[in-house]
A and B are shown apart, each in its own frame.
Chain A
Amino acid sequence: MPSSTPEVPGTYVFDVAQSNRGYALNRLCGSLKDAANRERFSADEAAYCDAYGLSPEQREAILQRDWTRMLDLGGSIFYVFKLAVLDKKSMQDLGGIFTGMTTEEFVKALNAGGRSFG
């Protein structure tokens, strides 16, 4: 059955199919809002990943901090961002990564009124 989720170029539309795919990854990232979990994760990231039942691709994306891949594998930005914060990364750092810019370039684009598309 074709999906009824709108396709918007350059945009993740996080739907139920994505949530299904990314469920374990998002659960792991979401758990990092609790300080005790952050400590356990940082002490042994691989073991923590194993406990959440990630797919091998998701596990690799998390361990390598491949942010774009996390999103491609069903990650929701609001969950993935909690891992970014643990790494002391800002939403502007991620914006740069997602768009192939440095953080400085990305911030500059925002300060100039943001990026416009058609």
Chain B
Amino acid sequence: MQEDAVLAELIWGLATSHVPSIGAAMDNGKTEDPYWKPLFDGYAPAREWMAKHTPDVAIIVYNDHANAIELNMTPMFAIGTADAYKVADEGWGSRNVPPVAGAPELSEHILVSLVDEGFDMTVCQELEVDHGLTVPLSVYCPDPGDAWPCAVVPILVNVIQYPQPTAARCLALGEALGRAIRSFPKDLKVAVFGTGGMSHQLAGARAGLINEKFDRMFLETIETDPAALAALSREDYIREAGSEGIELIMWLVMRGALGPGIRRVHETYHVPASNTAAALALFENLPGGAGQPSGASPR
């Protein structure tokens, strides 16, 4: 590649819960209800900032919830490479939000880069996207009108069947993803979303678990020392954050992509959103700060 080639730029990373009821609250005009208002008020400063820093493409790291992927096959990591993604009917009607436009060229570039680095991604040429992807889009853009303001590259992580990928592997995937984005030879602004969490457990005697102490530690450490979070075991995540709180490993993919030079724009934490602790953390990727995160090995 030439020295003066124009390359894509990774402008920000957003960590956000993707609870279905957050989407439903927006779809049904309930964001001013006393139950939901504190959460949406907490989003406001981040939304204002993001509206002034709009990406051309959002890479959304999420998991499917028994909608596009069934238990006959469980890809550990997968990437969408399609022109467009239909919004899934999860069993209670599709969300009334626009279809999701893909970014097939960027998808292919990322796929090839990741496979070259040893991440053998499953490829999805057709993928119906569920709340795990559409709710974060709504968190970013509450009123999309007829079309979302950005194209999307979906990246899926298996978080619902043990063994999930390790937290360390998720961080490493993110680091490789960051290199892939920054080597895409087009003038394109890109944002990365890490979704899910925070602590929650839906079933079993511990259903209703919230662990604010762990969540606050995670919110802080994701900025300052992601390697420490990557060192936690799956059992640590399940024990501390609940059987579904292990979704937090997907935040590490986003964090790995950003690299060390970041600035926290905003964060908010709220309990409860349905059965979960909900949070948002927005990080600006600082220009010139795109060095290698600790532990990353450049190609």
- Where the two chains meet, the residues of A that have a C-beta atom closer than 8 Å to any C-beta of B are 5-6, 8-16, 19, 23, 26-27, 29-30, 32-35, 38, 71, 76-79, 81-82, 85-86, 91-92, 94-95, 98-99, 106, 109-111, 113-117
Q: CA of A94 to CA of B202 in the docked complex: distance in angstroms? A: 8
Query: If A30-B66, A110-B208, A111-B272 touch, does A95 touch B202 (CB 8 Å cutoff)?
Result: yes
Q: Are A116 and B211 in contact (CB under 8 A)?
A: yes
- 9 A/B residue pairs, CB under 8 Å, sorted by A: A10-B204, A12-B204, A71-B204, A91-B202, A110-B275, A113-B210, A113-B272, A114-B211, A117-B206
Closest-CB distance, B91 to chain A (whole angstroms): 4
Q: Are B202 and A13 in contact (CB under 8 A)?
A: no
Of B1-9, B75-83, B158-166, B174-182, the one touching chain A: B158-166
Chain B residues positioned under 8 Å from A30 (CB to CB):
66, 70-71
Interface of A is mostly: helix
Closest-CB distance, A115 to chain B (whole angstroms): 4
Query: If A12-B243, A82-B91, A114-B271 touch, does A106 touch B208 (CB 8 Å cutoff)?
Result: yes
Q: CA of A6 to CA of B42 in the docked complex: distance in angstroms? A: 36
What does the 1/0 interface line of B75-104 toward A look like (CB < 8 Å)? 000000000000011111000000000000
Residues of chain B from 217 to 273 with CB closer than 8 A to chain A in the complex? 233-235, 238-239, 242-244, 271-272
Q: Are B161 and A78 in contact (CB under 8 A)?
A: no
Query: If A6-B238, A19-B71, A110-B275 touch, does A76 touch B66 (CB 8 Å cutoff)?
Result: yes
Q: Any chain A CB within 8 A of the CB of B201?
A: yes
Contact among B66, B204, B244 for A33, CB-based, below 8 A = B66
Closest-CB distance, A70 to chain B (whole angstroms): 10
Query: If A10-B206, A14-B161, A115-B206 touch, does A95 touch B275 (CB 8 Å cutoff)?
Result: yes
Q: Are B210 and A27 in contact (CB under 8 A)?
A: no
Q: Are A76 and B271 in contact (CB under 8 A)?
A: no
Query: If A91-B202, A95-B202, A114-B277 touch, does A109 touch B71 (CB 8 Å cutoff)?
Result: no
